[in-house]
């Protein structure tokens, strides 16, 4: 299922992809998500905190509706950060 079906705009995704090309920003985001498990990414409170912190690092001001959409999207993907297939699938979604 596409992120657009969750109300996440392609323009937001493109801005974030561009900002992630900055090595300093990329390292800060990598440190933020380092050590996360599938259980963490299924907990709405944890995901909301991650989205909030990541948006601060990226300098993106998200509305509560955008934040809710991203949280719902992340939880629906059932991401296991230790499963290479999951990571490849996500990478393919945002290429």
Residue-wise pLDDT tens digits, 18-53: 999 999 999 999 999 999 999 999 999 999 999 999
- Which residues form the domain of 22? 3-93
Number of independent structural domains in the chain: 1
More confident residue, 94 or 39: 39
Is pTM beyond 0.85 here? yes
- Minimum mean pLDDT range among 26-30, 70-74, 79-83: 79-83
Residues with Cβ < 8 Å from 83, sequence gap 6 or more?
38
- Burial tier of 3 (Cβ tally within 10 Å: 0-12, 13-18, 19+): buried
């Amino acid at each position: 299922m596409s992120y657009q079906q969750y109300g996440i705009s392609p323009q937001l995704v493109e801005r974030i992809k561009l900002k992630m090309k900055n090595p300093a920003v990329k390292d800060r985001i990598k440190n933020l998500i380092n050590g996360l498990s599938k259980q963490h990414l299924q907990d709405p409170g944890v995901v909301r905190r991650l989205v909030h912190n990541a948006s601060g690092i990226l300098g993106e001001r998200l509305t509560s509706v955008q934040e809710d959409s991203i949280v719902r999207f992340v939880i629906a993907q059932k991401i296991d950060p230790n499963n290479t297939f999951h990571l490849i699938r996500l990478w393919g979604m945002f290429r």
